[in-house]
Amino acid sequence: MGADPSLFVFGHLATPEHLAGEARRHLAGLYHGGRIEPRDPQPGQPVGVLVEVGSDAAVDRVWVRYALDGTAPDRTAPIAEARRVETRWDDLAWAYVDRWLAELPAQPEGTAVRYLVYGRKDGSAETMAADGAPGRDPELFGFGVDRLSSPCWVEDAVIYQIFVDRFWDDRSDFGRPLTRGDEVYGGSLDGVRERLGYLSELGITALWLTPIFAAETYHRYDALDYERVDEQLGGNEALASLVRAAHGRGIRILLDLAASHCSWHHPWFVDAQRNPNSQYRSWFTFRRWPDTYATFFGVPLLPKINTHNPEVAEYFSGMASRYLTEVGVDGFRLDHAIGPPLVFWSAFRTATKATRADSYTVGEVTLGPGGLRQFEGRLDGCLDFPLLQAFRRFFVHGGMDAQAFHSFLAHQERFYQPGFTHPSFLDNHDMDRFLWAAEGDVRKLELAAACQFSLPQPPIIYYGTEVGLSQKVGAGSPFGFEACRLPMLWEGQQDRELLAFYRTLIDTRKRHPALRRGSRHLLRAEGGVYAYTCRTDDDQVTVALNNSAERQAVSLPGVDGTDVLSGASVRGAVSLAPLQAAMIT
């Protein structure tokens, strides 16, 4: 699979070798992985806890010890015995696998269930805990019994991702790097505020700001202080002003929170390394104190925060809640959400929702759909990386025809539970921009965007994509993060036609509930031609995409209206130029 450029999203995570390694690693012991049934327990529902055990680690008894007050269960806590429900053979793990199921009793609304999973080795008194790493405490699992879901405003949102350093500052020379080699461009929160008019006119209803907390680098995914907005961006005041001004225009603000790691110069880590009795020592994972510690992907500058520590979980829940109430932000995009355990997010979401019921939590989860679904009931949603991959495969790289692409979308609509959001995007700050990948062919971007804006999940636009921002020539190979983070184009630099196209898409999406919450009905999916109707009881929009190099006549029986993208009237059929989209209302 390595040769397939569309796999850039998942890299080695999607390789058979990696999957086999994971399967073997999991099944060498007890594996739970947080899998419960139902995935998002409601008040009054018993909850099944699924445990798998590979035959190399056979057990003759499995049980779950649980507590109902949000703390880890102790030895006096009640237990639920599991029963073996299946013995299967797993080719990938090359082992027999037993599936055990324990049932936890139904609980009233608001219960924070926490539990540990244990097994007893066959023929011995030895017990082992599920998912536990050697030398670590047993892994704590948990879920909230609640009726929480993604807030209503998200369903209608059009989200705009701003890489703050690269967006705007009111300097005459913005667009050129300021300092530190080519790295700092000096974009600021005041700059964002000054451009709210532009965003508002475009039709944006929510901004996702890349991290704004005090940090060492221009990207700020290495926080020095989560309590303080970076002075270079304008500090706390600038954020408060931006939030007020954005809200005045009906635009929500999402902050980007990296809770899985921070800077090695963060005072917590400095103290933890210097002081053997530091209260922060347990906030990190020292394999050998003070110099050997868990890091984010092996980078010593980025120590991993020990999000298994309840104090840490409490800190982040509290910190996020303060931004919600004191600053008035509307939610969080959660960086590297697969870093912390699921129970961390469960607690985080419960706390932030208690603070502001209409706040939004969306995770960056770079896994396949099976991985995303694990976050159901734990977060309001996950960024839709699998869809991103499908977009790239169908519209850019090949490897999916219209039939396969349609099928992917149709399956995805059935796969996730209603209320779990998975916002769509064509690119972000960690990958080659779509337009670059499409070799600058704006028609391909328009085609993909037309599709993106007709799907039921909230679309995200990465800053600049709507005005033709691409990458430096020659900067794309091999991929470097700088390549896709060029400064925003303004005024005369912008592709006005493309911008007008995006405005039309957003405007049409706002006027037509069928695009936001309709059901989709296939008209044609063949080769490069993909056509469907989005429908609610009293609204209907038909989308026809010609993802091919030839003109295509697409018959659209019963469709009678205007293609908002070309202005042409359509009656029962449309003739599409190569890479042309039609959106008929």
- Which positions are catalytic? 335, 364
Residue 63 has a CB neighbour count (10 Å cut-off) of 19
Which listed range, 41-49, 86-94, 321-329, 575-583, lies at the site for a copy of itself (CB under 8 A)? 86-94
Among the listed ranges 50-58, 150-158, 230-238, 565-573, the one in contact with a copy of itself (CB under 8 A) is: 50-58
Which segment (15-23, 165-173, 354-362, 459-467) binds a copy of itself by CB under 8 A? 15-23
Is 406 an interacting residue with respect to a copy of itself (CB under 8 A)? yes
Single-letter code of the amino acid located at 529: V
Distances (CA, A) of 368 to 72, 245, 458, 463: 30, 38, 19, 25
Dihedral-angle region of residue 376 (phi above 0 means left; psi in -120 to 50 means alpha; beta otherwise): beta
User: DSSP E strands: which ranges in 155-314?
Assistant: 159-162, 206-209, 213-215, 223-229, 252-257, 286-288, 292-293, 295-296, 299-303
Query: For residue 491, what is the enclosing H or E element?
Result: none
Q: Does 354 bind a copy of itself (CB under 8 A)?
A: no
Cα angle 315, 319, 323 (rounded to 5 degrees) comes to 170
The reply to whether 415 sits near a copy of itself by the rule CB under 8 A is yes
Task: Work out whether 412 is an interface residue with a copy of itself (CB under 8 A).
Answer: yes
Q: Which is nearer to a copy of itself, 1 or 500 (CB)?
A: 1
Of the pair 98, 169, the CB lying nearest a copy of itself is at 98
Q: 177 vs 399, which CB is nearer to a copy of itself?
A: 399
Residue 301 vs 410, nearer CB to a copy of itself: 410
Smallest separation (angstroms) from a copy of itself to the CB of 136: 22
Does 411 participate in binding a copy of itself (rule CB under 8 A)?
yes
- Cα distances from 95 to residues 56, 62, 92, 370, in angstroms, run 7, 19, 8, 22
Least distance from C-beta 379 to a copy of itself, angstroms?
Answer: 18
Closest CA to 52 of 29, 72, 77, 71: 29
As measured in angstroms, the least distance from the Cβ of 126 to a copy of itself is 10
Task: Determine which residue in the list 159, 262, 400, 451 makes contact with a copy of itself, applying CB under 8 A.
Answer: 400
Q: Does 291 bind a copy of itself (CB under 8 A)?
A: no
Q: Is 5 in the site for a copy of itself (CB under 8 A)?
A: no
Q: Which is nearer to a copy of itself, 94 or 490 (CB)?
A: 94
**Interatomic CA distance for residues 559 and 569, integer angstroms:** 10
Q: Which of 2, 123, 134, 418 binds a copy of itself (CB under 8 A)?
A: 123
How far, in Å, CA of 59 to CA of 29, rounded? 9
Q: Nearest approach, Cβ of 251 to a copy of itself (angstroms)?
A: 34
At residue 168, what is the residue type?
W
Question: Does residue 369 touch a copy of itself according to CB under 8 A?
Answer: yes
Number of residues that bind a copy of itself (CB under 8 A): 43
Going 431 to 2 to 438 to 381, the CA torsion angle's sign is negative
96 binding a copy of itself? (CB under 8 A)? yes
Nearest to 23 by CA among 58, 3, 52, 65: 52
Q: Could you tell me which stretch among 41-49, 54-62, 248-256, 447-455 binds a copy of itself (CB under 8 A)? A: 54-62
R_g (Cα) of the chain, nearest Å:
25
Q: Is 503 in the site for a copy of itself (CB under 8 A)?
A: no
240-248, 252-260, 520-528, 545-553 -> range binding a copy of itself (CB under 8 A): 520-528
Q: Does 147 bind a copy of itself (CB under 8 A)?
A: no
Contact between 9 and a copy of itself (CB under 8 A)?
no
Select from 118-126, 479-487, 537-545, 566-574 the region that touches a copy of itself (CB under 8 A). 118-126
Among 37, 81, 109, 122, binds a copy of itself (CB under 8 A): 122
Query: Which residue, 478 or 557, is less far from a copy of itself as judged by CB?
Result: 557
Tokens of 304: 């991993």
Which of 295, 403, 566, 585 contacts a copy of itself by CB under 8 A? Answer: 403
Q: Does 373 bind a copy of itself (CB under 8 A)?
A: yes
Nearest one of 220, 228, 218 to 186, comparing CA atoms: 218
- The burial of 414, by beta-carbon neighbours within 10 Å (0-12 exposed, 13-18 middle, 19 or more buried), is given as exposed
Q: Does 25 bind a copy of itself (CB under 8 A)?
A: no
- Residue closer to a copy of itself (CB basis): 67 or 525: 525
**Position of tokens 């009795």?**
277
1 contacts a copy of itself (rule: CB under 8 A): yes
Using the minimum distance from each CB to a copy of itself, give the nearer residue, 407 or 575: 407
Assess 127 for contact with a copy of itself (CB under 8 A): no
Residue recorded with tokens 């706002």: 510
Q: Which stretch binds a copy of itself (CB under 8 A): 31-39, 90-98, 161-169, 540-548?
A: 90-98
Instruction: Return the structure tokens found at 370.
Output: 């099976």
Q: Is 408 in the site for a copy of itself (CB under 8 A)?
A: yes
Smallest CA-to-CA distance from 13 within 341, 406, 367 is with 367
Q: For a copy of itself, which is the closer residue by CB, 244 or 411? A: 411
Q: Does position 410 bind a copy of itself by CB under 8 A?
A: yes
Peptide bond just before 423 cis, omega within 30 deg: no
**479, 8 Cβ separation under 8 angstroms:** yes
Task: Print burial letters for 418-442: b (CB count within 10 Å at least 16), e (below 16).
Answer: eebbbbbbbbbbebbbbbbbbeeeb
| Cα separation of the two ends of the chain | 40
Decide if residue 128 touches a copy of itself (CB under 8 A).
no
Q: Which runs of consecutive H residues, i.e. helices, occur in 323-432?
A: 342-355, 369-373, 385-392, 402-415
Q: Under the rule (CB under 8 A), what is the footprint of a copy of itself?
A: 1, 14-17, 19-20, 55-58, 87-89, 91-92, 94, 96, 98, 121-124, 368-370, 373, 400, 403-404, 406-408, 410-412, 414-415, 522-526
